[in-house]
Amino acid sequence: MSIITLENKQFSIDSSNFIYSKCSSRPSKSVVNPENYTKYKSIKETFSFLDGSQDLSFKECIGYIFGAKIKIDKTVYILDNETYKVVNFTDNKFKILTKNLNDKHSNYIIIVNDIYTYPKIQYIYMLSNFFTNVKIVSSQLMSYKLIVCHKRITNLDFEIKDNYIKDFDIKVDELLVKYIKDDNDTFLENTINMNQVVNSMCKSLSQISNLNRETYTINKYYKAFINKECSTYCNCKINSIFYSNLFECYICENCLILTRVFP
d(CA 182, CA 219): 25
Low-confidence ranges of the chain (pLDDT < 70): 1, 45-53, 91, 203-207, 230-239, 257-263
Phi and psi, residue 192, nearest 5° = -65, -45
Do 100 and 217 belong together in one domain?
Answer: no
Do 33 and 83 belong together in one domain?
Answer: yes
Residue 77 belongs to domain spanning: 2-191
- Domain count across the chain: 2
C-alpha of 84 from chain center: 18
Do 229 and 124 belong together in one domain?
Answer: no
Say if residues 10 and 152 touch (Cβ distance below 8 Å). Answer: no
Question: What 3 state SS string does 153-210 have?
Answer: CCCCCCCCCCCCEEECCCCCCHHHHHHHHHHHHHHHHHHHHHHHHHHHHCCCHHHHHH
Say if residues 211 and 198 touch (Cβ distance below 8 Å). Answer: yes
Do 37 and 162 belong together in one domain?
Answer: yes
Phi and psi, residue 148, nearest 5° = -100, 110
Do 18 and 137 belong together in one domain?
Answer: yes
Domain presence at residue 18: yes
Residues 34-55 have pLDDT tens digits of 999 999 888 876 666 555 567 8
Residue 237 confidence (pLDDT): 65
Residues 190-203 have pLDDT tens digits of 888 888 877 777 76
Do 206 and 99 belong together in one domain?
Answer: no
Choose among 192, 260, 212: nearest CA to 43.
192
Domain presence at residue 197: no
Domain presence at residue 196: no
